[in-house]
Amino acid sequence: MPTLFGKRVLLGISAGIAAYKSAQLARLLKKAGCEVRVIMTEGAQAFITPLTLQALTGEQVRTSLLDPEAEAGMGHIELARWAELIFVAPATADLMARLAHGHADDLLTTLCLASEAECVMAPAMNQAMWRHPATQANVATLHTLGWRLLGPDGGEQACGDVGLGRMREPEALIAELAEAPAVRDAEALRITITAGPTHEALDPVRYLSNHSSGKMGYALAAAWARRGARVRLISGPVTLATPPNVERIDVTSASEMLAATEHAAAESDIFIGCAAVADYRAEHVAEHKLKKTDASETMTLTLVKNPDIVAEIAARSPRPLMIGFAAETRDVERYAHDKLTRKGMDMIVANDVSQAGLGFGADDNAALLLWRDGDDTDSQTLPPQPKTTLADAIVDRVLMLYAHRASTAHD
């Protein structure tokens, strides 16, 4: 298992409010057995003092490229050669832009350019800054330059905004640093995933729904993000945390999910319909709570069909590669094959939700993959396993299918 023990780490701190977390990062790196030296930008010192980091690491903190004493022996080159890992946390939008374009105008950026060490950063900025096309272009450039990005996470920010941009918590960052980097074989791809149930209102307090927890869709979103894809997750009501590096859009009903999906799918290379969308909704939603009466032992509801999201997206031209899900309780392969053909999908992931410990709400799942290869249908059976590992196996198959379709399209 990968370990941080004994690793020589340069911890770079730039000028963001999240710099307060860097003290805990330094402490945890030392606790993990790392040798830690800290480089701070001028702006970072407005948020946390060099003395704090020096006390935690037991090493002098470097803050200036033009330090006569340190540079008498080319100190920045010595540091660049010493480091096995350069970890910038927080990495502001400004620092990311400078690193993406090869600037070397302070000690931290100079070290990053002069070192052959592994380079990792933890972005931290306002959610609008993170979403800005310029920042996203810099993110893509940094990936091509070999940088590994951990985060950002979603949630409430210091400015009061809510969205992606928060620096990941120190404990989570240390855990990820200790892991082997994932194979980033999906960096150029844009993925849209629907997940979780939908709630179809009957009145202000009641709704129709199902037992979907969203765990499979969220595992898929996390798997694609680890492998470098740009992931948009359209989620029904669930209690799960947003996976790192995933843009999440919350919806409630099938109609809301369709509206969000129509926009996202038009910008996607691959669409994965993992949500358990309610098949029907009430024809009329009561304005007030429906009351139980003593005069009747029954209640009659008139339901109408919801839109078929996967079928509607699959019928469009051009369209992304279409991957669907089928939760069945019997004749799994027959029903899945019918659904694959009838809805015009490229691949379907089918599972038997009647099996104890698998499917809805469980942490494990098993699946039958069916995909179209010309006029024929191929299949793959994936045995029971955690949904997190099953997600990676599904991503492997989808990537192979996508590559095959791309190669035949150019023939």
pLDDT tens-digit readout, 227-254? 889 999 999 999 998 887 888 999 999 9
Domain identity same for 216 and 142 = no
Domain identity same for 243 and 345 = yes
pLDDT for res 1: 38
Could you tell me if 202 and 290 are in contact, meaning their C-beta atoms sit under 8 angstroms apart? yes
Q: Regarding predicted confidence, which is higher, 47 or 5? A: 47
Could you tell me if 211 and 361 are in contact, meaning their C-beta atoms sit under 8 angstroms apart? yes
Domain identity same for 301 and 198 = yes
In a domain, 43, yes or no: yes
Domain that holds residue 297: 190-410
Residue 84 pLDDT grade (very low, low, confident, very high; cuts 50, 70, 90): very high
- Half-sphere CA count of 285, side-chain side, radius 13 A: 13
Domain identity same for 91 and 159 = yes
Domain identity same for 136 and 253 = no
In a domain, 347, yes or no: yes
Residue-wise pLDDT tens digits, 366-378: 999 999 877 778 9
pLDDT for res 370: 96
Which residue intervals of 227-316 are DSSP H helices?
254-265, 309-314
For the ranges 67-71, 386-390, 392-396, the lowest mean pLDDT is seen at 67-71
Q: In the predicted model, what is the mean pLDDT of residues 360-386?
A: 87
Domain identity same for 31 and 137 = yes
* Percent of all residues in the chain with a pLDDT value above 70, rounded to a whole number: 95
pLDDT for res 17: 93
Domain identity same for 199 and 163 = no
The domain boundary residue, chosen from 118, 148, 177: 177
Q: Which residue has the tokens 């905004």?
A: 161
pLDDT for res 181: 64
Residue 52 pLDDT grade (very low, low, confident, very high; cuts 50, 70, 90): very high
Task: Supply the CATH number for residue 80's domain.
Answer: 3.40.50.1950
> CA angle, 291 as apex, 288 and 294 as ends, to 5°?
160
In a domain, 182, yes or no: no
pLDDT for res 73: 44
pLDDT for res 70: 53
Residue 54 pLDDT grade (very low, low, confident, very high; cuts 50, 70, 90): very high
Per-residue pLDDT for 67 more than 50?
yes
For the ranges 27-31, 45-49, 114-118, 175-179, the lowest mean pLDDT is seen at 175-179
Residue-wise pLDDT tens digits, 309-320: 999 999 998 899
Best CA proximity match to 12, nearest among 96, 88, 105: 88
Whether pTM exceeds 0.75:
no
Per-residue pLDDT for 72 more than 60?
no
In a domain, 358, yes or no: yes
Residue 341 pLDDT grade (very low, low, confident, very high; cuts 50, 70, 90): very high
Domain identity same for 276 and 319 = yes
Q: Which residues contact 351 (CB under 8 A, 6 or more apart)?
A: 325, 326, 327, 328, 332, 358, 359, 365, 366, 367, 368
Domain identity same for 21 and 119 = yes
Provide the pairing of β-strand 246-250 with 230-235.
parallel
Across the chain, mean pLDDT equals 89
Q: In the predicted model, what is the mean pLDDT of residues 300-316?
A: 93
Q: Which of 112, 119, 159, 274 is catalytic?
A: 159
In a domain, 183, yes or no: no
Residue 65 pLDDT grade (very low, low, confident, very high; cuts 50, 70, 90): confident
For the ranges 68-82, 113-127, 186-200, the lowest mean pLDDT is seen at 68-82
Per-residue pLDDT for 391 more than 90?
yes
Residue-wise pLDDT tens digits, 135-149: 988 988 888 788 988
Residue 159 bears catalytic tag: yes
pLDDT for res 306: 95
Domain identity same for 218 and 140 = no
Give the whole-angstrom CA distance, residue 359 versus residue 93. 41
Domain identity same for 310 and 375 = yes
Which range has highest mean pLDDT (65-69, 139-143, 192-196)?
192-196
Best CA proximity match to 273, nearest among 345, 364, 351, 185: 345
